[in-house]
């Protein structure tokens, strides 16, 4: 079966409290798509964060002394630095323009995933409003999946993705920050290749592979396609969570 990724049409600008399930169902109908068993819905982090009200007005942020010190080193808004600290377990690297942290969710990312782009808030100046990641993307994905399954009667997966940089590589790619009903990795150790060689270390990050493909369809600027329908995913669906794809600290050679 070929793998098919289709951006859903006419997704509106998302506001706090919007019902993403209703929006997805309507967009599927507009796009002439019907959910089938083993299909996957991939959502951009931004629309989940917006619906959950994760927008913060920087004018309301009170910076700490540590934030002030890091702001001097990074040339960043001290209020933004304070939010980055609040959203992080640990600061790993600092340079002008960038703070690399371990996010509270467990993964490594720049600036705790806090973003200015494509954030609109009519009650405040646009430059004063930033967007945090969802508090629990796995739970957000699970709730969306259960509601979609209840409406459609189909067994599906749901994934939430964000754009992250990578060690040793230039450029951001889509990565999963939460999912439900989808395997995070496929352990192929013990499998045999075409010539009978038994694989010894191969664990495939299939959730992130799909996230990168979906990110290509979403784009990074003004494309307005934050939801992707996936059909033909070449692995069986199962319960999974972000924990299975986060490398333990004692095995993280990049720290």
CATH match for 4-52+134-246 among 3.30.1330.100, 3.40.50.170, 3.30.450.70, 3.30.2320.80 = 3.30.1330.100
Would you write out the chain's pLDDT as a tens digit for each of its 255 residues? 799 999 999 999 999 999 999 999 999 999 999 999 999 999 999 999 999 999 999 999 999 999 999 999 999 999 999 999 999 999 999 999 999 999 999 999 999 999 876 566 555 555 689 999 999 999 999 999 999 999 999 999 999 999 999 888 899 999 999 999 999 997 666 666 667 776 666 678 899 999 999 999 997 655 689 999 999 999 999 999 999 999 888 888 877
CATH of domain 55-131: 3.90.1660.10
Q: Quote the pTM value.
A: 0.91
Q: Where are the domains of the chain?
A: 4-52+134-246, 55-131
- Sequence-ordered list of residues with C-beta below 8 angstroms from that of 163, at least 6 positions apart, any chain: 172, 173, 174, 175, 215, 220
């Amino acid at each position: 079966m070929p793998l098919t990724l289709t951006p859903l049409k006419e997704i509106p600008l998302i506001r706090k409290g919007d019902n993403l399930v209703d929006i997805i169902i309507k967009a599927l109908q507009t796009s002439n798509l019907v959910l089938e068993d083993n299909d996957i819905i991939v959502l951009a982090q931004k629309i989940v964060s917006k619906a959950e009200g994760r927008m913060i007005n920087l004018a309301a942020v009170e910076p700490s002394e540590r934030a002030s010190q890091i702001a001097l080193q990074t040339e960043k808004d001290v209020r933004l630095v304070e939010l980055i600290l609040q959203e992080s377990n640990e600061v790993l690297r600092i340079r002008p323009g960038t703070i690399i942290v371990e996010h509270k969710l467990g993964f490594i990312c720049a600036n705790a995933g806090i973003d200015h782009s494509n954030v609109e808030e009519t009650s405040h100046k646009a430059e004063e409003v930033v967007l945090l990641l969802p508090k629990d993307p796995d739970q957000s994905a699970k709730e969306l999946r259960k509601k979609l399954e209840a409406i459609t009667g189909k067994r599906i997966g749901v994934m939430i993705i964000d754009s992250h940089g990578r060690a040793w590589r230039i450029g951001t790619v889509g990565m999963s920050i939460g999912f439900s009903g989808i395997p995070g990795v496929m352990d192929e150790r013990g499998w045999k290749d075409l010539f009978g060689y038994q694989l010894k270390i191969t664990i495939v990050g299939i959730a992130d592979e799909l996230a990168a493909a979906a990110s290509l369809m979403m784009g990074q600027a003004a494309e307005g396609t934050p939801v992707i329908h996936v059909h033909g995913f070449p692995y069986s669906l199962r319960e999974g969570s972000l924990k299975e794809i986060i490398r333990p600290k004692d095995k993280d050679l990049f720290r």
